[in-house]
Chain A
Amino acid sequence: DAGVIQSPRHEVTEMGQEVTLRCKPISGHDYLFWYRQTMMRGLELLIYFNNNVPIDDSGMPEDRFSAKMPNASFSTLKIQPSEPRDSAVYFCASSLLLGNSYGYTFGSGTRLTVV
Chain B
Amino acid sequence: RKEVEQDPGPFNVPEGATVAFNCTYSNSASQSFFWYRQDCRKEPKLLMSVYSSGNEDGRFTAQLNRASQYISLLIRDSKLSDSATYLCVVTLSGSARQLTFGSGTQLTVLP
Task: List chain A positions with a Cβ less than 8 A from chain B.
Answer: 31, 33, 42-43, 45, 48, 50, 56, 91, 93, 95, 101-102, 104, 106-109
The reply to whether B43 and A42 form a contact with Cβ atoms under 8 Å apart is no
A-binding residues in B (CB < 8 A): 32, 42-46, 49, 87, 91, 95-104
**A104 contacts B46, C-beta separation under 8 Å:** yes
Number of A-B contacts (CB under 8 A): 38
Q: Chain B: interface secondary structure? A: strand
Residues of A within 8 A of B100 (CB): 45
| CB <8 Å contact, A101 and B43 | no
Nearest CB on B from A104, distance (A):
7
Give 8 CB contacts A-B under 8 Å.
A33-B99, A50-B97, A91-B43, A91-B44, A93-B99, A102-B96, A102-B97, A106-B43
| Complex A-B, nearest 6 residue pairs according to Cβ-Cβ distance, in ascending order | A106-B43, A43-B101, A42-B103, A31-B97, A108-B43, A106-B44
